[in-house]
Amino acid sequence: MVYFGRSYYRVAVVTGSNRGIGLEIVRQLATEGVTVVLAARDEKKGIEAASSLHQLGLPSVVFHQLDVQDPVSIESLAKFIKDRFGRLDILVNNAGASGVQVDVDGLKALNIDPQSWLSGKATNMVQSVIIQTYEKGVECLNVNYYGCKRVAEALLPLLELSAAGASIVNVTSLRGELRVSEVLPGIARLLWASLPFLIIILQFLDSAYSGADNVYQISDKYCLHFLALQRVPNEKIRNELADIETLTVEKVDKIVEKFLQDLKDNALEANGWSLMLPSYSVSKVTLNAYTRVLAKKYPNMCINCVHPGFVKTELNWNTGTQSVAEGARGPVMLALLPTGGPTGCYFDQTLMAQF
């Protein structure tokens, strides 16, 4: 993998990192010489995870307990980083929750192929083994959206002290994609998926990208309109999320509140919400929106979201097809971006993609 290297001493925090993709992100960052705070809710499992990396010859990994739903726990982490390191260079928001109760054995018996999961065709197939409750939905949004917000807001003062510009990486999902509906005037949508066009965009970013303003310059210059939000059928909410010029954290919060109320009232379908892992989908859509707002507010940082791939982890009940090593590549690449690298963007693994 090619990284946009930084030679200075770096400190990173990776949330939800006692197992799976998070643990592998910690390992890969530590291998690159980064001092990494392995943050996890379960203290025993977190200490064991850090110890396993020490045994691999990675002594720069340190553990600190973190429950992203608990403000006191978050404050404790921030104080620890300030007292021990005096600053922070990298934050990877990886902690996640699915938002459903699952009969794992029943799910395995269905033997659903990966393409059905990715395309959404599995929606009707899993109704008998997946139970969606209001309580699980609240937990999901508290971890995946509000938790990321809380951690970022608590650590931003330390990230602003980074010697050469900080990075925030929000681990998201295909369930949170905000698909473009138009690429260039008069040119078919398929052009976006073509390799030559991707190369042009990536070359432009590599050679001339600087700061959050260029995210919006690119949107204007190349007419990359974020309109067709496939994961959010509700037209009003689609329009709100698509309008980056007027989008605010407060607006995103209200969308989350509206979803939770509809979930509580059993009114998801009536109000145009996705029925396939709805809490998880909304948590990732809103996390992506928050990422874009944050990138605009902090133009000197690299703030991006990344779909790690369909990775085999406990979060997706081991239905994935990729290894955790493959899944960590994108988050690690973005964590190590140089000052002036892409920001306010969505990456599908290691390639920039449309929201």
Query: Catalytic: 222?
Result: no
Report the phi/psi class of residue 99: left, alpha or beta, with left for phi > 0 and alpha for psi in -120 to 50: left
| CA gap 227, 238 in Å, rounded | 7
| CA gap 16, 64 in Å, rounded | 11
Q: Give Cα 199 to chain centroid, integer Å.
A: 24
Q: Phi and psi of 160, rounded to 5°?
A: -70, -15
Residues 183 and 201: beta-carbon distance below 8 Å: no
Residues 352 and 202: beta-carbon distance below 8 Å: yes
Distance, first Cα to last Cα, the chain = 24
| CA gap 301, 319 in Å, rounded | 35
Query: Which residue out of 280, 290, 298, 346 is catalytically annotated?
Result: 280
| CA gap 278, 53 in Å, rounded | 35
Residues 18 and 42: beta-carbon distance below 8 Å: yes
Helix axes 195-208, 213-221, angle to 10 degrees: 140
DSSP 63: E
Residues 15 and 39: beta-carbon distance below 8 Å: yes
Catalytic site positions: 280
